[in-house]
Amino acid sequence: MANDYTEMWSSLGLNVQAHQGLLGVLSDAYQNIYLSQQDRPEGMKYFDFVISEVHGQRIVEIVKKKMEGKPIIGTFCVYVPEELILAVDGISIGLCAGADVGTDEAEKYLPRTTCALIKAFMGFKLAGLCPYVESTDLIVGETTCDGKKKAYEILNEVTGKVYVMELPNMKNDESRVLWKKEVHKFARKLSEITGIEITLERLREASSAVNGKRKALQRLSALRSHDPAPISGLDALLINQVSFYDDPVRFTSQVNSLCDEIEERVKAGTGVAAKGTPRVLISGSPMAIPNWKLHAVVEGSGAVVVGEESCVGERNFSTLFDRSFSSVDETIDAIADRYMTINCACFTPNDARIEDIEDMIKRLHADGLVHYALQFCTPYMVEAYRVRQAINGGRFPFLGIETDYSMEDMGQLKTRIEAFVEMIKEGSRS
Residues that bind ligand BJ8 (CB under 6 A): 77-79, 115, 117-118, 144-145, 147-148, 285-286, 311, 342, 344, 346, 374, 377, 379-380
In the complex with ligand BJ8, which residue's Cβ is closer, 120 or 298? Answer: 120
Closest CA to 291 of 349, 356, 377, 220: 377
Q: Cβ 75 to ligand BJ8, closest distance in Å?
A: 9
The enclosing H or E element of 131 equals helix 131-135
CA distance 309 to 306: 10
Contact criterion met (CB below 8 Å) for 219 and 266: no
Q: Cβ 316 to ligand BJ8, closest distance in Å?
A: 8
Q: Cβ 158 to ligand BJ8, closest distance in Å?
A: 17
Backbone Cα Rg of the chain: 21
Helix residue spans in 199-247 (DSSP H)? 200-223, 233-242
User: Which residues are bridge partners to 309 per DSSP?
Assistant: 283
Closest CA to 183 of 153, 147, 142: 142
Q: What is the DSSP string of 145-203?
A: SHHHHHHHHHHHHHHS-EEEE---SS-SHHHHHHHHHHHHHHHHHHHHHH-----HHHH
In the complex with ligand BJ8, which residue's Cβ is closer, 194 or 283? Answer: 283
Q: Cβ 78 to ligand BJ8, closest distance in Å?
A: 5
In the complex with ligand BJ8, which residue's Cβ is closer, 259 or 374? Answer: 374
Angle at alpha carbon of residue 388, lines to 78 and 353, rounded to 5°? 30
In the complex with ligand BJ8, which residue's Cβ is closer, 182 or 227? Answer: 182
The enclosing H or E element of 401 equals strand 398-403
Q: Cβ 94 to ligand BJ8, closest distance in Å?
A: 9
Contact criterion met (CB below 8 Å) for 399 and 420: yes
Q: Cβ 367 to ligand BJ8, closest distance in Å?
A: 25
Q: Cβ 283 to ligand BJ8, closest distance in Å?
A: 11
The enclosing H or E element of 39 equals none
Q: How many CB atoms lie within 10 A of CB 37?
A: 14
In the complex with ligand BJ8, which residue's Cβ is closer, 401 or 421? Answer: 401
In 3-state terms, what secondary structure has residue 404? Answer: coil
Contact criterion met (CB below 8 Å) for 364 and 224: yes
Q: Cβ 146 to ligand BJ8, closest distance in Å?
A: 8
In the complex with ligand BJ8, which residue's Cβ is closer, 131 or 141? Answer: 141
Backbone angles phi, psi at 251, to 5 degrees: -60, -45
Q: Cβ 428 to ligand BJ8, closest distance in Å?
A: 32
In the complex with ligand BJ8, which residue's Cβ is closer, 93 or 198? Answer: 93
CA 257 to chain CA mean position, Å: 21
Length of the chain: 430
Q: Cβ 379 to ligand BJ8, closest distance in Å?
A: 5
In the complex with ligand BJ8, which residue's Cβ is closer, 216 or 377? Answer: 377
The dihedral sign for the CA sequence 209, 213, 216, 218: negative
Closest CA to 234 of 35, 25, 43: 35
Q: What is the C-alpha end-to-end distance of the chain, expressed in Å?
A: 51
In the complex with ligand BJ8, which residue's Cβ is closer, 379 or 397? Answer: 379
Contact criterion met (CB below 8 Å) for 371 and 399: yes
In the complex with ligand BJ8, which residue's Cβ is closer, 117 or 209? Answer: 117
Q: Cβ 296 to ligand BJ8, closest distance in Å?
A: 19
In the complex with ligand BJ8, which residue's Cβ is closer, 62 or 377? Answer: 377
